[in-house]
């Protein structure tokens, strides 16, 4: 009888008392269900098919979440880099791991925020529009990548900062600070 240690099963992980451990696959599935719950039941199959065929599905905003559209030039001004992986890492740190979608074709980022942000931050949102920043809510749709479509470089829309679990959103104040810092950097740049 030989002992082949390479075929042994991994031992279970024991969490500290009172701590629940959820595998990444469980969190990803919960996130998928949460995102799809923005649609009526008959629209969820269509969105799943879009995710399967195109990695992106159009989801309505303003019920469970909204999105702040941030131009890529604003993020580049803050990082002095144009490399997607560095921009993604910066956004993850600046927004405390809050989820961000990247549209590399249009060079835009979408911070996923609470559904109430377009109304509760309307004064700031009106001011941000001069910098091509907008807060998209009720009545808007966003191309949302499948939860596992993450990481640069990609040619299509992807999660620049993946949604770690269902309903884990960017804090509005963190997004506002990022925008303010980016606008300041852009204003300080010499005219070309």
Q: Quick check: 165 pLDDT over 80? A: yes
Domain residues of the chain, as ranges?
Answer: 23-188
Predicted pLDDT at 6: 46
Closest CA to 141 of 29, 44, 56, 60: 60
Mean pLDDT of 52-79: 97
> Taking a C-beta distance cutoff of 8 angstroms, is the pair 121, 137 a contact?
no
Q: To the nearest whole number, what is the mean pLDDT of the chain?
A: 90
Predicted pLDDT at 13: 55
Whole-prediction pTM: 0.86
Distance CA 170, CA 113 (A): 5
Residue 134: phi and psi, rounded to 5, are -145, 155
């Amino acid at each position: 009888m030989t002992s082949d240690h390479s075929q042994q099963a991994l031992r279970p992980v024991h969490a500290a008392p009172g701590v629940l451990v959820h595998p990444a696959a469980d969190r990803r599935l919960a996130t998928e269900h949460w995102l799809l719950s923005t649609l009526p039941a008959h629209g969820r199959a269509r969105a799943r098919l879009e995710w399967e065929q195109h990695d992106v599905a159009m989801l309505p905003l303003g019920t469970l979440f909204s999105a702040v559209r941030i131009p890529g030039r604003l993020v580049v001004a803050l990082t002095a880099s144009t490399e997607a992986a560095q921009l993604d890492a910066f956004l993850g740190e600046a927004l405390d791991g809050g989820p961000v979608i990247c549209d590399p074709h249009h060079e835009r980022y979408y911070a996923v925020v609470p559904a109430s942000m377009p109304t509760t931050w309307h004064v700031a949102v009106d001011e941000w529009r001069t910098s091509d920043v907008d807060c998209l809510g009720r009545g808007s749709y966003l191309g949302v990548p499948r939860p596992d479509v993450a990481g640069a470089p990609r040619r299509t829309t992807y999660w620049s900062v993946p949604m770690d679990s269902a309903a884990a959103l960017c804090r509005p104040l963190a997004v506002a600070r990022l925008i303010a810092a980016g606008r300041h950097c852009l204003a300080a740049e010499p005219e070309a």
